[in-house]
Structure 1
Amino acid sequence: MMKLGRDVVHFLQNQGFVVVSTIDAAGYPHNSCKGIVEIDESGRVYLLDLFRARTRRNLEANPLISITAVDEHKFSGYCLKGRARIVSQEEIKPHLTRAWEERITSRLTKRLIKNIHGEKGHALHPEALLPKPEYVIAMDVEEVVDLAPYPGSR
């Protein structure tokens, strides 16, 4: 596991979602959007996967994973590469469940405020309909790729 810099952790904590890439049985990449539940400088990232489909199946067969996030306005981003495992509901530590609930509450609050101010958004508040997680994906980071055109120029 690779230690992460504070700038990487801070950047990823502030993303609404990340793009998670896995490899399917035929060797093709599969990409999906997931929310980060927790990330810390030790190099472990916990991701929420509510749909229990391709990503889980791919990781059970091949633990290689990458997560990517970009900020198009700042022209920056990171790709984290590593290995992942499925953490079952019984193994999920209570602080991870609380962290996810806090993230959902924060997203709902921001969406409601935007709607009150007349900004466009999703009127149905889909976050409120999300089920409780049955498992999380635990990723151990092995490599960090700085996606800025001039890495280190932050």
Structure 2
Amino acid sequence: MQALSNEIIQFFQKQSFAIISTLDKNGSLHNACKGIVNIYKDGKVYLLDLYSGRTYENLRRNSNISITAVDEHRFKGYCLKGKAKIIQSDKIKSQIIKAWEEKIASRLTQRLLKNIHEGKGHPRHPEVLLPKPEYMIIMEVKEIIDLAPQHLKEGV
């Protein structure tokens, strides 16, 4: 596993979602937006996938996965590549479930505040309608790619 710096951990924790890439049965890329529940210095990343769709099926066949997030304003981003496994909900540690619940509560609060200031962006509150997680994806990071242009990196 590849250790993650505090900078990378904080970067991903600030993202409301990340793009998860897997390989389908034909070897083509499949991309989906997923929430990061938790990310640890030792290179483990806990992802929530609520709908048992293509990402789930792809990972059952092939454990290769990448997580990509960018901050357009700061011209910064990372791609984490590695292997993933699917863990059923009865095997998920309670602190991970609690972290997910806290993240959803925070997102709902942020959405409500944004709706008050900017007007409602969606006719419903999607977070309230999310199903309870049946499983979680645990990724072990094997490679880190810094997506920032070389000439814009600090200290260069």
- With the length of structure 2 as denominator, give the TM-score of the two structures: 0.95
In structure 1, runs of 5+ residues without a counterpart are none
Distance (whole Å) between structure 1 residues aligned to residue 86 and residue 34 of structure 2: 14
- 1:8 maps to which residue? 8
- 1:74 maps to which residue? 74
Provide the secondary structure at the position in 2 that maps to 1:55.
Answer: helix
- 1:121 maps to which residue? 121
Q: Where does 1:79-90 land on structure 2 (aligned, <5 Å)?
A: 79-90=79-90
Specify the code of the residue in structure 2 equivalent to 1:2: Q
Distance (whole Å) between structure 2 residues aligned to residue 122 and residue 68 of structure 1: 25
Distance (whole Å) between structure 1 residues aligned to residue 118 and residue 142 of structure 2: 43
CA drift of 1:119 comes to 4.3
Q: What percentage of aligned pairs have identical amino acids? A: 56
Distance (whole Å) between structure 1 residues aligned to residue 42 and residue 87 of structure 2: 18
What RMSD, in angstroms, separates the aligned Cα atoms of the two structures? 1.3
Specify the code of the residue in structure 1 equivalent to 2:6: R
Segments of 4+ in structure 1 off by > 4 A?
A: none
In structure 2, runs of 5+ residues without a counterpart are none
CA drift of 1:121 comes to 2.3
Distance (whole Å) between structure 1 residues aligned to residue 33 and residue 118 of structure 2: 27
Q: Where does 1:1-154 land on structure 2 (aligned, <5 Å)?
A: 1-119=1-119, 121-150=121-150, 153-154=153-154
Residue pair 1:89, 1:134 contacting (<8 A) in 2 also: yes
